[in-house]
A and B are shown apart, each in its own frame.
Chain A
Amino acid sequence: MNLPVFDLSADPGPNFLHLLAATGHLPPVPEAMAGGSPVSVAHGTTVAAIRFAGGVVMVGDRRATEGHAIAHRRMEKVMPADAFSGVAIAGAAGPAVDLVKLFQTQLEHYEKVEGRALTLEGKANQLAIMVRSNLPMAMQGMVVVPLFAGFDHNHRRGRIFSYDVAGGRYEETEHHATGSGGRDARTTIKLGYREGMSRDEVIRLALTALYEAAEEDSATGGPDVIRGIYPTVATITESGFEPVSEEEIAGLFNQLIADRSQAAAADRGAGEVAVPAPKARRAKPRGSTT
């Protein structure tokens, strides 16, 4: 690698994407294939973000699917974008993870070249441009839909931005969820959300939303107690992006399961909790092929 020095007219400025293009490091977009996408790729599923008094909580389940099969059980879908913002991804896992890596580098690159970080608004717009540039891939089934949240030091509050495939950027006032189980998660959050909730309340609500989504959507992973796999949770506050410890999440999730088991047992009139049977209450008659 040479030292990347440019003529004034060809200088990419603080933009890392332009730099990659100028140095020939940007991967080529594959030609469109007739009849949609013949390849089956891993897909990440449900992620959500909820605002609270001190900032934003972001959560994501851990499952990636490939068609009807489970591709990965331990995927991380909530990642820091920089010190004061986070990005959560749903959609084609490979392009999504690459998008996040590129976005992280883009923000840090700008900060180093310019000597100051972008505003939260600027970061959100950058991500919109990157999602839009993925449109040719999205047309072939490689859809990537991120959720962006961060602490805005100018407005002194947490902010959430959602995106569509075409790079549309929408600011959400209170909460949002996306991915295959996003609708179910959104409903749960909508019903449980109140103004001025605390951090702990919001984390509990977010975990409940993922639990409900996992019940209704086969592509969303529920808690895996046997392997000890729980959703990824992070908070973004005035002091920055902070992952919530696995013990705390496990504790909250186990509490949630215990509560549900108790309620289910009470429904059956058993009076005591014997074996946890969280799904018993929700058994509905359905057309089954087995």
Chain B
Amino acid sequence: MSIPYYVAPEQVMQDRADYARKGIARGKSLVGLTYQNGVLLVAENPSKSLHKVSEIYDRIAFAGVGKYNEFDQLRVAGVRHADTKGYAYSRHDVDARSLANVYANYLGSVFTHEMKPLEVEILVAEVGPVIGEDAMFHILYDGTVMDEDNFTVLGGDSESISEKVEQGWAESMSFAEGTRLAVSALTGPDRSLTATDLEVAVLERSNGRRAFRRIPAEELAAVL
């Protein structure tokens, strides 16, 4: 009978966390922030069709960084969860908090039970009826949930980007101001970003039932 090597549980978790963090750090970052008219999501993403930011439900959006196939699977699962819930109960019973908990449970269980943790960090954002009531839930690869006010940054280089956003953020920012702030925070000293390198979407309070709207490249270029 062969006896497996003993590995301390702390070590197992540490190794998995390192693995997930390394995978996430390889990708590009993403900024989510609240502005005057809702929630603004700005991602560095050169692809026009493989989205990092998407619609989940009437007032809820999803954003993910890390491995595309893994966060896209989470996005589809979120759409399924929200649509099923809205169909079975009412459209008003679908909220970001409950969806964030479901995501956290799933990510946490994959992190502890599966061979490989998911190399993703996701954001579930919801636009509220009035300014100050928007919600953003930032969920990590191990299922940790953070209820963020005002702004949040996903991805490898989040600390330095966060600092830059913090300096410029104000509650009554317009769409243009918020976009410029997020883009300047994502831009490093040695490189610049143009409209074609970015994916921008908003959850607009005034957009009717479906608040989610993608910002086309022309509109974005005009703002920048």
Give CA–CA (A23, B103) in the complex, Å. Answer: 17
* A-binding segment of B50-58, B130-138, B146-154, B196-204: B50-58
CB-based contact A115/B106 at 8 Å: no
Complex CA gap A20/B85 in Å reads 10
B79 contacts partner chain A, Cβ-Cβ < 8 Å: yes
Q: Look across to chain B and name the residue whose beta carbon is closest to the beta carbon of A14.
A: B76
A102 to B103, Cβ gap below 8 A? no
Would you list which residues of chain B between 69 and 100 have a CB under 8 Å from chain A?
Answer: 73-74, 76-81, 83-88
Q: Establish whether residues B79 and A20, one from each chain, have CB atoms under 8 Å apart when the complex forms.
A: no
Interface residue A61 (Cβ < 8 Å from any Cβ of B):
no
Give A90 to B46 CA distance when docked, in angstroms: 49
Distance to closest chain B CB from A33 (angstroms): 27
Cross-chain contact A5 with B106 (CB below 8 angstroms): yes
Q: Which residues of A contact B215 (CB under 8 A)?
A: none
Closest residue of chain B to A116 (Cβ to Cβ) is B49
Q: Which residues of B contact A5 (CB under 8 A)?
A: 73, 77, 106
Known: A4-B81, A19-B84. 14 other contacts (CB 8 A): A2-B105, A2-B106, A3-B74, A3-B102, A3-B105, A3-B106, A19-B80, A25-B84, A25-B88, A105-B87, A109-B80, A113-B79, A113-B80, A115-B49
Which B residues fall within an 8 A CB radius of A?
Answer: 49, 51, 54-56, 73-74, 76-81, 83-88, 102-103, 105-106
> 21 A–B contact pairs at CB < 8 A?
A1-B84, A1-B85, A1-B102, A2-B102, A3-B77, A5-B77, A5-B106, A16-B83, A19-B80, A19-B84, A25-B87, A25-B88, A101-B87, A109-B79, A109-B83, A112-B54, A112-B56, A112-B79, A112-B83, A113-B79, A115-B54
Shortest beta-carbon contacts, A-B, top 10: A3-B106, A4-B80, A112-B79, A3-B102, A109-B83, A3-B77, A5-B77, A105-B87, A113-B76, A19-B80
- Chain A residues near B (Cβ < 8 Å): 1-5, 12, 16, 19-20, 23, 25, 101-102, 105, 108-109, 112-113, 115
